[in-house]
Chains A and B, each alone.
Chain A
Amino acid sequence: MKKTGFVIAAILTMSCHAQAFQYVLGKGPSDKEFRKNAQILLQQAEALLPASIKQSFKKPVEVRFESLKEHGDHALGKLAWGSIRIDLKAVPEILRGESKATAINRTHKTFYREILATVVHETIHAYDRLNTHDAEEARMIRQCKDDKERDNGQRTSPECRAYENMYRSYSQNPYFTMIAGFVDSDESWMKHRSPDIYELTSAYESFPVNMEYFLMDPDYACRRPSLYHLFRTKFNHTPFPNSRCQVPLNYVIPDFKGKNSPLRSIDPNRIYQIHYLLAGEGDAMMSGWGHSMFRIIMCAPERKSVGPDCLKDLNDHIVLSYRAFVNSIQINTLKGLTGDYPSRLFLVPMNQVIEEYTKTELRDLSSIPMNLTRDEIRQFVIRTIETHWSYDGKYYFTSNNCAVESLNLMKGSIFRPGLIDVSIKTPMGLEKELRRLKITDNRMLSNRLQAINNGYLFDSYRDRYEMSFNVLRQSLKLGHKDFLEFLKIPAAQRAQTYARISSLDGKARTKAAAAIVLLENGAHRFLKADIKAQLTAQVMAEEKKAAKKGITTRQKEIVTALTEISDMFSQPAAFLKGASGYGLPTERDWEQIQAVSSTKQTQGSDIYAEVEKNVESLINSAQMKEIEAINANVQFALKFMRSL
């Protein structure tokens, strides 16, 4: 009796909707109540699926209930031989029905929903394995496969790299794999704040896991906005049209000894432009090819309109910089080559970056405007924040360096034709490609002086030191070759030279005084850099000796404590350890972030106070005397100016 009814129903369904997607409940417990409830569950699953996915299926999808443990699987579900199999442990829950679902502390909240999600998950796998593509994609795949055969494995054109091996409907899509974090390896580097770590194991698994949440969680749009945007476009499907969640664009600044909250917020509507920020070559090995960063031109809150004047609001600009996190006192070059240092995205104040690069390392900072639309700006910021909370990459000096990571940030948010195919190795290489694709516009940098005065170039202070030296060389008839030679003589000796400016007249006096101020500031920075290098080397030597003796010094304890704190601030998902939820933190998460970061700031502040005391005692008296002499020179020049 049961069987006939089932067959009639099947025939009816087939004749009414000839090509409609269909789940067929197959082998499993014969209990009537169970099969009734199982049908309800399958109807729910079907209702969740996007039409575009359902339309790809030409045959019904069978769902069976059997023991998966026997085959060594402990999974709740799996796809095998075209059928979805759900493990028998789901049966009691299905019998209970959704209204009596069992609460669990995993991301789907109830076991019932977990079973429902599993059906969806396996269905997506089935869709993926159909290897179905739209006309344009199918054409690319055919062409690229033909090219590959014809050229017999020789150089692939960049556009074909994604297509020549494509045999899945979507899990090999280059945009999906990029955004899901499968950058350079088989595991995802968007590691933190995951709803289900199974997604990190492969793109093949990441696709159905993410679809579970895309289709079942109204908050997915705000937890994983980039993937949400991708799926919504690809599948032409808005799962929760009434959801009004707001994407929270909050981040944590790496201030682990301050007194104020390190939480910050970005309002994309207050962004004037986003620039590609390129630091010129430096002297250290890692700096030989420049450094890639981005600069978000935020407008000061009191500025009424968003426009070119915002270029002046340096204190509000944010710099995005990928850096390797070195968790020991000494940098190990080998580790930098083999991916043993994690790489993270830091959000740093612009002023700090200007100070570090132009004034201390004497490198130019070129700020090249990118012609992004308002939507692209918003997507880029969203992707930045997602990266800030989830990304934990590996620094490979040659292949996953700042340039590659910066490019990947763009690939995951700016969908210009050709960008996804770009392959570069260096920051200057990236600059060239962005120029070729007409994403950056270099015109503002064609004239050096204009570029400085308009805020597109932050010149290396080397130029200013040279200029200042030339001013003094002319007016005071100095014999030294260049500013470096001049600054090598003791400050007290320079003071004697400076005394002669009182015999100058007119404008030459203020010019000379200004030049002295600049040069002596430079001397101060150079001496400070030497002191820092010396102290660091001293510390390293002490640690090496202690390590040989097997002693743990107080210094080592400090390093360990500081590393732990710094680690958290460079990887802020750590503040939400133990919290439920995935993706971007929501408002409810702020309390925990605030509380934990505040505790760490206090700890950090205490440790810094200790370090400061130690360091102060280590600076030798000769160096302190020289610092004081430099300060005296600056004061002399200022006093002179005030007297005019």
Chain B
Amino acid sequence: MKKSLIIALLLSATVAQATEISQVYSASVTSTVDSILAIPLMTTGGVVATSASISGETLKLVLEAKEDAATMIASDGAIRGISLQKALEAIRAENPKLQASDLEIAEGILKM
């Protein structure tokens, strides 16, 4: 495993995955790999008992905000990425009586 990883790393350096070049076939290979191997976070997991209800549109924003949510938690609330802020805005707009703090909602987003 280790050897192939090193070889792969060397190959990736020479193959220049620079985004500035739009390489058609490489793009098709990489994009199909992306769809086969979706990032583990981009799905909803367990059932979450929160007092918030959210629409389908907001759910999309929530999925996009998961890594930002994890970042906020891991940084003790210091880092508040933009996708998270957008999700918070949408959740609060749909749940005006929601009392939870941003950090608490972020935890809810991550667990969703």
Contacts and interface: CB of A to CB of B under 8 A. Distances in A.
B34 A533 contact: no
B19 A521 contact: no
Contacts of A641: 107, 110-111
Interface stretch (A2-10, A59-67, A559-567, A587-595): A559-567
B87 to A, nearest CB: 9
B51 interface: no
Given A312-B89, A326-B24, A528-B33, A488 B5 contact: yes
A315 B60 CA distance: 11
A524 B20 contact: no
Contact of B36 (A336, A540, A615): A615
A380 interface: no
B24 A532 contact: no
Interface string B14-27: 01111111111111
B111 A533 contact: no
A172 B58 CA distance: 54
Contacts of B26: 329, 532, 536
B101 to A, nearest CB: 13
Interface stretch (A43-51, A82-90, A285-293): A285-293
Contact of B25 (A329, A359, A631): A329
A562 B26 CA distance: 11
B8 to A, nearest CB: 4
Given A533-B8, A634-B41, A323 B21 contact: yes
B74 A467 contact: yes
Given A325-B22, A357-B19, A626-B1, A529 B73 contact: no
Contacts of B5: 488, 530
Interface string A317-342: 00001011111010100001000010
Contact of A630 (B2, B13, B40): B40
Contacts of A525: 39
A311 interface: yes
B20 A535 contact: no
Interface in B1-56: 1-2, 4-5, 7-9, 11-13, 15-37, 39-41, 45-46, 48
Contacts of A611: 28-29, 32
B80 interface: yes
A423 interface: no
Interface size on A, as a range, is: 35 or more
Contacts of A524: 37, 39-40
Contacts of A225: none
A634 B75 CA distance: 18
A568 to B, nearest CB: 12
A263 interface: no
A563 B27 CA distance: 11
Contacts of A162: none
Interface of A: 279, 282-287, 291, 309, 311-315, 321, 323-327, 329, 331, 336, 341, 346, 351, 356-357, 359, 361, 402, 449, 452-453, 455, 458, 464, 467-468, 471, 488, 490, 507, 510-511, 513-515, 517-518, 520-521, 524-525, 528-537, 539-540, 558-559, 562-563, 566, 570, 607-608, 611-612, 615-616, 619, 622, 626-627, 630-631, 634-635, 638-639, 641-642
25 contacts: A282-B18, A285-B18, A312-B82, A315-B64, A324-B22, A326-B22, A327-B24, A361-B17, A449-B78, A453-B81, A455-B85, A464-B71, A514-B73, A521-B40, A534-B8, A536-B30, A539-B25, A559-B24, A566-B22, A611-B29, A611-B32, A612-B36, A626-B1, A635-B45, A638-B46
Given A455-B82, A641-B107, 19 more contacts: A309-B89, A315-B64, A326-B22, A329-B23, A331-B21, A467-B75, A521-B40, A528-B34, A532-B12, A532-B30, A533-B15, A534-B11, A536-B25, A536-B26, A562-B25, A563-B25, A566-B27, A626-B1, A642-B45
